[in-house]
Amino acid sequence: MKPSLNPSALKEPRFLFFTGKGGVGKTSLACATAIRLADEGKKVLLISTDPASNLHDVLETELGPDIRKINKLPGLSAVNINPAAAAQAYRERVINPLKGLVDEAALKKTAEELSGACTTEIASFDAFARFVDEDKKASGFNHIIFDTAPSGHTLRLLELPAAWSEFALKNPSGATCLGPSSALNNSRDRYQRVLEALRNPEKTCFYLVSRADEHSLAEAARSGNEMIALGFSHQFLQINGVFKTSRKDDKLAMELEKQMQKRLKSIPESLQKLPRQEFPLLPYNLLGLERLRSLFDQNLQEKLISLEESKLEVHQSLPDLDALMEEICAGGNSHGLILTMGKGGVGKTLAASAIAVKLAERGHEVLLTTTDPAGHIGDFLGELDALPAGLETARIHPKEETQKYIAKIMARKGPGLDEEGRKLLLEDLQSPCTEEVAVFHAFSNAISQSHRKFVVIDTAPTGHSLLLLDTTGTYHKEIMRHIRLGADKVRTPLMALQDKSLTKILLVALPETTPMHEAAALQEDLRRAGVEPFAWIINQSLSMLSDLKDPVLVGRAGAEVAIIRNIREHLANRTFGIPFMTGDHLLPALLKKPHLEKAN
């Protein structure tokens, strides 16, 4: 096992990437590293590539698409890559050169092709690539640090340049959802330089951030291996939130410490080879420069802990998932669409799995599926000794759905084409945009089943879900624009999501300041699309427990109380809770089922 590294022993290259499962602390560690380097006299640029970025909350500074200096710390600047702004800038770069060369109909067609979520993805990469490729805006910085989206989204971002370059080479005169292939050709050389920089260990390193739990360590190992396959091999492991108790009379604290030490001794083999750093679980939220500095400063940690006021109010009650089941099944309801949504790492998959099992145990027919590229449904259900009758599981896997979609289109359109026509059709279908369309079709198919059974969908982290929602909205507008008669009989997926009698959106959040703000922002995005969340689920709540004694746990429980009160009184229509749990087998614990260890 690799020893923990002293940060001062590291010689960071110019580009530093922080990636990992949602909710593991990527933003905190990226910010703390940026502050440490700036304190050392370096000029540092901190960039968020997460569509659901909370960089402004952590740095307590308003940020936008332009580089802004952090006034309290000379040498540190930050910027959010805003996907919508990046997509608009990309569209303008593609369309403006065509004005005066093609007619209005052709311009309109190109604009429509550029309206999808796939354009947003490649535009975000294009904006990110400009910072890596020695863009003037990034000149003069000693270090550029990227706080990335959850693993699945980041891997998709890193795969895009190779995928689009290959497609543009094979289809140089074609058109895509990104406009003419020539638009890609103009950027291909830059994308190639970016890939070379990311693969150069003297220029770039990747920090795989994880918690000391089975699922996030497994995700770190998976994403690390996938990045190595893409040529990004200069990696470090950072384990965040490591807990050690000072109270031997606190049963939960002792169990939590024991569990973490067990996990630290059984890290996946691929991660064991990496240099490693560990960071402690702290009783305060990591917001603001001083608290972020404390991640690398034990003396400052002790000072801040001693300044924490005693938390008198540390316990509260919340309705549990059984109470949620009563509302979902009220009036004998036996079908509907249930989506768990939220930022990565907040417990969407655990909540979705528990809800699906509970519905099936009540005798209902249930489909449990996921749109998350890193889908962990199988991991949770594998903790059970048997699944209840009536529960069916599936996964909307982007690569698999793309292949099925291509086969379907070729079977439908191919027979009417000659050999050259089939070849051209297949080339068009190799576009990375096809994946967006394929996932949407699979998502729509799952929704259509909710009229006869319960369909529980564990959605991807917020950024991915908003892109899917964007595609759903675009499809809805396209259908309604072309419909002439019988519009009242048309039912699009967006209409299903807007139907309160059919659909229940459950926003899952942790009882912390930043996750609360992120869930509130997602709720506003949904409302702008005409979709009203049914309820919030507060996951891993310490304040739902009694008899806490460890000062770190008591401090964190006390900090939750005001946050949950704000959610209940000002944000949520309904609020339910899942208490803090330790152990490898969270789903059986939540369902209150004993887990029987399986024989090796």
Q: How do residues 486-513 score in pLDDT, each as one tens digit?
A: 445 546 777 888 899 999 999 999 998 8
Q: How confident is the model at residue 2 (pLDDT cuts 50, 70, 90)?
A: very low
* Active-site choice (19, 28, 204, 471): 28
Selection from 112-121, 239-248, 303-312, 577-586 with the highest mean pLDDT: 239-248
- Contact call for residues 401 and 444 (beta carbons, < 8 A): no
Q: What is the pLDDT of residue 461?
A: 55
Mark residue 157 as left, alpha or beta (left: phi above 0; alpha: psi -120 to 50; beta: remaining): alpha
CA 138, CA 127: separation in Å to the nearest integer? 12
Give yes or no: 26 in active site: yes
* Active-site choice (26, 311, 343, 504): 26
Whole-Å CA distances, 28 to 31, 33, 142, 151: 5, 9, 20, 16
Cβ-count burial 28-62 (b if 16+ within 10 Å, e if not):
bbbbbbbbbbbbeeeebbbbbbbbbbbbbbbbebe
- Was domain 324-584 assigned CATH 3.40.50.300? yes
- pLDDT tens, position by position, 128-166: 778 888 666 677 899 999 887 655 555 656 666 555 555
Q: How far apart are the first and last CA of the chain?
A: 24
- pLDDT tens, position by position, 415-443: 888 888 888 777 777 765 676 677 777 77
> So where are the chain's domains?
11-84+126-169+183-307, 324-584
CA 523, CA 503: separation in Å to the nearest integer? 15
**Residues whose CB is less than 8 angstroms from the CB of residue 597 and which lie 6 or more positions away in sequence, other chains included:** none
Total residue count of the chain as it appears in this document: 600
Higher pLDDT, 111 or 518: 518
CA 199, CA 192: separation in Å to the nearest integer? 11
- pLDDT tens, position by position, 331-343: 999 999 999 988 7
Record the pTM.
0.71
* Active-site choice (19, 49, 50, 458): 50
Give yes or no: 514 in active site: yes
Give yes or no: 28 in active site: yes
* Active-site choice (22, 25, 152, 224): 25
What is the mean pLDDT of the segment spanning 390-411?
Answer: 82
* Active-site choice (20, 21, 22, 27): 27
**Residues whose CB is less than 8 angstroms from the CB of residue 2 and which lie 6 or more positions away in sequence, other chains included:** 237, 272, 273, 274, 275, 276
What is the token pair recorded at 58?
């952590």
Give yes or no: 27 in active site: yes
Sheet architecture: strand order including 336-341: 391-393, 366-370, 454-458, 336-341, 503-509, 535-541, 575-579
Q: What is the pLDDT of residue 105?
A: 78
Give yes or no: 423 in active site: no
Query: 63: which DSSP letter?
Result: -
Q: pLDDT above 90 covers what percent of the chain?
A: 34
Q: What is the pLDDT of residue 15?
A: 92
Which 3 state secondary structure label does DSSP give 507?
strand
Q: Answer whether 11-84+126-169+183-307 and 324-584 agree in fold.
A: yes
Q: What is the pLDDT of residue 160?
A: 61
CATH domain 11-84+126-169+183-307 topology = Rossmann fold (3.40.50)
Among candidates 430, 426, 5, 479, which has minimal Cα distance to 205? 5
**Residues whose CB is less than 8 angstroms from the CB of residue 239 and which lie 6 or more positions away in sequence, other chains included:** 210, 211, 212, 264, 276, 277, 278, 279
CB atoms within 10 A of CB 582: 17
Give yes or no: 50 in active site: yes
* Active-site choice (115, 210, 514, 541): 514
Whole-Å CA distances, 254 to 240, 415, 520: 18, 66, 34
Q: What is the pLDDT of residue 365?
A: 97
Q: What is the pLDDT of residue 551?
A: 87
What is the mean pLDDT of the segment spanning 548-564?
Answer: 89
What is the number of H-type helices and E-type strands within the chain? 23, 17
- pLDDT tens, position by position, 322-366: 999 999 999 999 999 999 988 777 889 999 999 999 999 999 999
Question: In Å, how far from its chain's centre is CA 532?
Answer: 21
